[in-house]
Structure 1
Amino acid sequence: MATVGFSNRNTGQRLGITEPISLGGPTEYDVIKTRELEKYLADAELYESQEEAVIREEVLGRLDQIVKIWVKTTSRAKGLNEQLVQEANAKIFTSGSYRLGVHGPGADIDTLCVGPRHATREEDFFGELQRMLAEMPEVTELHPVPDAYVPVMKFKFNGVSIDLLYAKLSLWVIPEDLDISQDSILQNADEQTVRSLNGCRVTDQILRLVPNIQSFRTTLRCMRFWAKRRGVYSNVAGFLGGINWALLVARICQLYPNALPNMLVSRFFRVYTQWRWPNPVLLCAIEEGSLGLPVWDPRRNPKDRFHLMPIITPAYPCMNSSYNVSSSTLRIMTDEFQRANEICEAMEMNKADWNTLFEPYPFFDSYKNYLQIDITAENADDLMNWKGWVESRLRQLILKIERHTYNMLQCHPHPRDYSDKSRPFHCCYFMGLQRKQGVPVNEGEQFDIRLTVEEFKHSVGLYSLWKPGMEITVTHIKRKNVPNFAFPGGVRPSRPKIAGESKRNPEQKVSGSFEVDKPCETKTVMDTTENERKRKRENGDLGANFGNTRSSPAAPSSSGVPLESFPSVSSDTMSAVGDERNASGETRKRVKNYGHDSTNSFQKNSLQNGELDRHVIFTSPIRPSSTATAASNSSKEAEKLAIEKIMSGPYNAHQVFPEEPDELVDEFYKNQVIIVGGNNNTDGSFMESSTAKGAVSQTMTSTEKGVGPNISMNQPWGMDELEPAELMPPSSRGNTSTSTPQRKPLIRLNFTSLAKNNG
């Protein structure tokens, strides 16, 4: 575990594209709070043991020996003379969290094998080297993915997980002292090699561009842990992965070069709460380079203008590492930054502690409606491949649902998967659903996403390695129907019942209906009585704890955050989405009461009769001095001005458009009309289990049948966490049926007026 220290490499040379915001050094308060943070991270078991560290080093050394033997064997097999065979060499480099020094126990090691020009990727790396590894008893779970965007070989070596990439250089001999940070290393390299090299080059450049590596590592450990606890750590789900968080933290270290981790964490949230996306985060100036490789520049590259949260890599060719961020995930992360910033400010006044900051996000208690996506396969290997492919397509489902409902229906993907142990070879994903906040509902307004879901299943069915048994099911469930296997230990937390909550106020009832294919109507009641509000407050629905509600991306304010909900419906139908308001028509506000001091200046909008949030306990004994507090308050305005100055860079005119044509626009979707009514089948089912063989609705034209969405695979150069590695471009299977399938009932949303409650 790192220890607190004052030494840093900042000798007056500016690191970054702007001047630092502050050159101030740590106070005694910062030293104490940093030690608290380090102890908290150690107690959370984020540091590996010395024994595990030794094992990792031994594994890497053994792997380096193996690739050296492999390249000599390959050179001899290709007929090279004995001198060239003896000179043939290959080297192992590390990247990602291991190279940055922030990996935890059991973490994967991202590795790169660099080989000579005559050792090919297809025949030699995924041929001879794969065969050698498969024959070794210490190698298990070998899983090559040659068709991935960044080709990778996954396996375990003596129990240590390895992700091995390959870079073929235009050199006959790889020198032992090879420096891959030089741009000349990319000369005549193929695209897969450039992507594979970029992970190592970026991590090395990050370490060169931070003023204090020790403080950077501790802060990054903290931010990675925080992001995982708050459910915003996942590149493939549209949030941020390891390299993205590293770049964001590195920029804060540049802006506060003499700060300790306690201050860096606080300033991280302060800066990015005020950051005006899509202004890019840059560690250094973007250089054009001499090799002609494309670099990120929205002024010249139209596709770069669609990026919502650009975080630019510092190594040539500089690219956006956060390409997957969508408007939904940006809104969620912005809200989390706001929540954390408020907590950090409360910590400065001794009204919160580290436990409050790292409180897990209650995903299954935050929405009333969810989409459940179940996938199954015949065996473990098929499930691994199928899972990686489906996971890589879930972001497309989110983008299409929101686009086809004009952003009225918002999706919150859960960044992890679950498994029902009672079902063999099963995996499950969840998405929270809510109506867009602050938008009035019109009587009878409907948004039909049935074609959207069917097209998603069809595009998933175009998987080039599809096998019988690979199935996918999409189901709408209410919060009370979330399966038990989604909760820790398989036990659903109890929700206390409040006396009198079953009583209804006839004047507060709002009926909602949902059209199904049967000639019937499902009636529901939305209760907004005082007892219901009290129950929801105590159960966590109102966000009485920090951050249990999400704010709008346009206004990441701490107030005016309504709780979104659907009227209840049966599990085989999709229901309407509505704002939940109090009896006077006012939306509930975010709680800004951070402690038990009833005289503090924070609002208590959601608490009645001065009742304080009993779910949050503060134990920190540390109080900053009054002088430090005054200095902190006086510096906030100066910091705000400094951040505004940073925003005035060359890319501040970067315009973001409301859609991403390379992923969403094709002839079918450009002409699709969202259906409001129509005759359908009458079996009443919501979503049948599909074998994902490309079932397409009969509403498609004959020329569209069997053709999936035209989804571009243009991604930024490979990072250490371009998960999943199973990502492959879709290609039609020979056995994919293009005939018109039996028509299935799809999902239809009916927005019902809430005028009686909205006032």
Structure 2
Amino acid sequence: MGESKSKIGDSTLSRHKATTIQFDLTKPLSLSGPSNADIRRNAMLHKFLITSGVYESLEETERREEVLAQIRQVHGPGADIDTLCVGPYNEFFSYLHKILAKMDEVTNLQTILDSYVPVLKFKFQGILIDLVYAPIYFRIVPNDLDLSHNSVLGYVDKKAVPSLNGYRVANKILELVPNVENFRTTLRCLKLWGNRRGLYSNVTGFLGGINWAILVARVCQLYPNANPSMLVCRFFRVYTEWKWPNPVMLCPLVESNRRRFHVWDPRKYLKDRTSVMPIITPVYPSTNSSYNVSTTTLNIIKDQFEFGKKMCEQIELRNGQWDSLFEFYPFFEAYPCYLLINVSASDEEDLLDWKGFVKSRLMKLTLKIERAHEKLQCHPCTNAYTDESISPARHCAFFMGLKRKKEETTEEVHMQTNEEVNVLATGAQFADEVKGRYPNWKQTMDINLNLVRREEMPSYVFRQQSVL
């Protein structure tokens, strides 16, 4: 019943040997290996990752294994922290929620059904777990079911395909990179960088884990003999020059005569032509994994890639250190005005689900502002913040940086009074829509939007840097 997802970048992945297969659509840009200077920079990068806490300690690994052993008792063997659970067509997803809700080890249990991939999010003995369920047309699911084979798609409906493809894509990427260890280390670096620069969040219109994995894998294909320090620098060099919306692909698109699913193809489908930053999954049916990226968030991503390129150039010239590349983005210093979205509920359990639903809709608010206010730049923050001085804290706050656009200048441009009024009107419309669409909304739940000047920013946001 359980099938673990290969967690890309996790230290528990088995080591794959490099092969001589043809990995992609084009030949490598360079077959050069690391120079002595690259080897030295790589050692410095590895030291930086260790001091940054990117690698798991032995104690954490043992605790994780202990948690996995207990999770297997709930829904079968082969579970992982990022977990795909495959089961027969029934109400198993709801049934599993009830089982977990009764367990003392489980906290922060949250069901997210209204999303691209339905998921149960919870902490098991403090370990965060995302569990995706994929119903399949079997009365009993065989233990040797091969999810990597396209034939398995014949036993699920279209809604279950994205759930299965998370696992399938992760495994396929490992087949398509020339050196898995170098890929894993480079991916760790870029995930850490994306987190610190405010770009790691699919739900708010930036890049999620699978997006980063495909982008890194493509660079690994282009530079098959490069070590991680080289690959990090090549990553920014490649993607600052990339001509979006040209797609990033790891292999040719695969069609299948067995069962027809929508395969990403802008030549055939109008919707696919609207993608601004297409990053295509390497398994059938291939899709655009970066579907949430908008024109606004793409521009922010491009600016940050340019920052990364400049920092790497300094590192290669020995004028910079790795920690300069991984500096936290000063979000609350970057804009003269911020839209504050405050979410509240009467108890912690209600707040957990309510704020999750609101966060899943923030990308729509960005699009509303983008379309209704062409002169404004809107930058959603990927973090949520809580005023811990209020006890019990039954609220959380999301922020969006706002300023007027002005081409070809770094001068700070403030919003005008009428623009502020119009943004608040757009925000009020968004709040009403969110309340109306949340299936479990109660009178005790609320969402308020206000504009806050940079100098009026509440102090608690500067004390928090972790994503809630």
Q: Same fold per TM (> 0.5)?
A: yes
| Matched letter for residue 364 of structure 2 | Q
User: Is the 2:347–2:394 contact (alpha carbons within 8 Å) kept by the matching residues of 1?
Assistant: yes
Tell me what 1:219 maps to. 186
Q: 1:227 to 1:14 in 2, by over 3 A?
A: same
Once the two structures are TM-superposed, the CA of residue 461 in structure 1 deviates from its matched residue by 1.9
Q: Does 1:426 align with 2:370?
A: no
- Say what the alpha-carbon RMSD is for the aligned residues: 2.5
Q: Letter of the aligned partner of 1:428 in structure 2? A: A
The alignment status of 1:475 with 2:450, answered yes or no, reads: yes
* Cα deviations by residue, 1:20-63 (Å, 9 ceiling, x for unpaired): 11111111111111111011001001111122212222322332
Give SS of 2:108's match.
strand
Matched with 1:717 is none
AA paired with 1:484?
S
Residues 142 and 403 of structure 1, relative CA distance in 2, 3 Å threshold: closer
Q: Please, which runs of 5 or more residues in structure 1 have no aligned partner?
A: 69-90, 95-108, 491-722, 725-759
Distance change in 2, residues 1:369/1:164 (3 Å): same
How far off is 1:136 after superposition? 3.3
- The answer to whether structure 1 residue 365 and structure 2 residue 333 are counterparts is yes
For residue 41 of structure 1, the aligned residue among 49, 55, 79 is 49
Within a 5 Å distance, the mapping from 1:106-185 to structure 2 comes to 109-115=81-87, 117=88, 119-120=89-90, 123-127=91-95, 129-185=96-152
Contact 1:414 1:430 in 2 (8 A): yes
With the length of structure 2 as denominator, give the TM-score of the two structures: 0.89
Q: In the alignment, is the contact (CA less than 8 A) between 1:308 and 1:325 conserved in 2?
A: yes
Among residues 317, 334, 344, which one is paired with 2:312 in the alignment?
344
Map 1:362-511 → 2, pairs under 5 A: 362-405=330-373, 407-423=374-390, 424-438=393-407, 447=419, 448-462=422-436, 463-488=438-463
Partners of 1:10 and 1:257 within 8 A in 2 = no
Look up the SS of the partner of 1:487 in the other structure: helix
1:608-665 CA distance string (max 9 Å, x none): xxxxxxxxxxxxxxxxxxxxxxxxxxxxxxxxxxxxxxxxxxxxxxxxxxxxxxxxxx
Residue aligning to 1:256: 223
SS at match of 1:268: helix
Aligned to 2:21: 13
Q: Quote the Cα distance in structure 2 between the aligned partners of 1:458 and 1:230.
A: 31
CA drift at 1:361: 1.0
Cα distance in 1 for partners of 2:133, 2:261 equals 20
Per the TM alignment, residue 287 of structure 1 is displaced from its structure 2 partner at its CA by 0.9
Aligned: 1:355 with 2:323: yes
Paired with 1:362 and 1:417, the residues of 2 have a C-alpha distance of: 15
TM superposition shift of 1:419:
0.7
1:315 matched to 2:287: no
Q: Deviations over 1:142-195 (max 9, x none)?
A: 333445442222333233222222222233443323221001111130233212
Distance change >3 Å, CA 197–CA 92, structure 1 → 2: farther
Contact 1:63-1:92 within 8 A present in 2 as well: no
Write the letter of the residue equivalent to 1:480. Answer: E
* 1:477-521 residue CA offsets vs partner (Å, 9 max, x unmatched): 11110011111279xxxxxxxxxxxxxxxxxxxxxxxxxxxxxxx
Does the 8 Å contact 1:93/1:200 carry over to 2?
no
| Whole-angstrom CA distance in 2 between matches of 1:156 and 1:207 | 28
**1:418 CA displacement:** 0.6
Q: Which residue of 2 aligns with 1:206?
A: 173
Please give the residue correspondences for 1:236-315 in structure 2 after superposition, counting only pairs within 5 Å.
236-290=203-257, 291-315=259-283
Q: What is the CA–CA distance in structure 1 between the aligned matches of 2:270 and 2:216, rounded to whole Å?
A: 28
- Is residue 364–residue 479 contact of structure 1 (8 Å, CA) maintained in 2? yes
**Counterpart pick for 1:192 among 153, 159, 172:** 159
Q: Residue 281 of structure 2 aligns to a residue in which SS?
A: coil
Structure 2: 5+ residue stretches without partners: 1-8
Q: CA deviation at 1:288?
A: 1.6
Q: Alignment identity in percent? A: 49
Assess if the C-alpha contact under 8 Å between 1:2 and 1:218 holds in 2. Answer: no
Aligned-pair distance for 1:15? 0.8
Contact in 1 for aligned 2:339/2:452 (Cα 8 Å): yes
Cα distance between partner residues in 2 of 1:235 and 1:125 = 24
- Name the CA distance, whole Å, in 2 between partners of 1:382 and 1:364: 28
Match of 2:62 in 1: 54
Q: Distance in 2 between matches of 1:392 and 1:148?
A: 8
8 Å contact kept, 2:108–2:352: no
Q: Deviations over 1:227-263 (max 9, x none)?
A: 1111111111111111111110000001001100011
Mark the CA change 1:399 to 1:139 in structure 2 (over 3 Å): closer, same or farther.
closer
Per the alignment, do residues 132 and 363 of structure 1 end up closer, same or farther by CA in structure 2, a change over 3 Å counting?
A: closer
Matched residue, 1:332: 300
Distance 1:376 1:45 in 2: 33
Check the 8 A contact 1:24/1:258 in 2, yes or no: yes
Q: What residue in structure 2 maps to residue 606 of structure 1?
A: none
Judged with a 3 Å threshold, the aligned counterparts in structure 2 of structure 1 residues 43 and 327 are, in CA distance, closer, same or farther, namely: same
What's the secondary structure of 2:155's corresponding residue?
coil
State the Cα deviation string for residues 421-440 of structure 1 (Å, max 9, x = none): 23430111111111112289
**In 1, distance between residues paired with 2:215 and 2:320?**
24
Q: 1:24 aligns to what? A: 32
Check conservation: 2:424, 2:451, Cα contact below 8 A. Answer: no
8 Å Cα contact 1:387-1:427 kept in structure 2? yes
Q: Which has the larger radius of gyration?
A: 1
TM norm structure 1: 0.56
Q: Call closer, same or farther: CA 1:277–1:416 in 2, change over 3 Å.
A: same
The CA distance in 2 between the partners of 1:33 and 1:416, in whole Å, is 31
2: distance between equivalents of 1:52 and 1:399?
40
Equivalent runs, 1:541-690 vs 2, <5 Å = none
**Matches of 1:358 and 1:145 in 2, distance apart?**
32
Query: Structure 1 residues 395 and 131, CA, compared in 2 at 3 Å: closer, same or farther?
Result: closer
How many angstroms apart in 1 are the aligned matches of 2:269 and 2:140?
Answer: 37
User: Closer, same or farther in 2 for the Cα pair 1:50/1:275, shift >3 Å?
Assistant: same
Please state how far the C-alpha of 1:449 moved relative to its aligned partner: 3.8
Alignment check: 8 A CA contact 1:126 1:146 kept: no
Contact 2:219 2:234 in 1 (8 A): yes
Shift of 1:446: 5.7
Query: For residues 319 and 242 of structure 1, what CA distance do their matches in structure 2 show?
Result: 15
SS of the equivalent of 1:143 reads strand
CA gap 1:2/1:28 in 2 versus in 1, 3 angstroms: farther
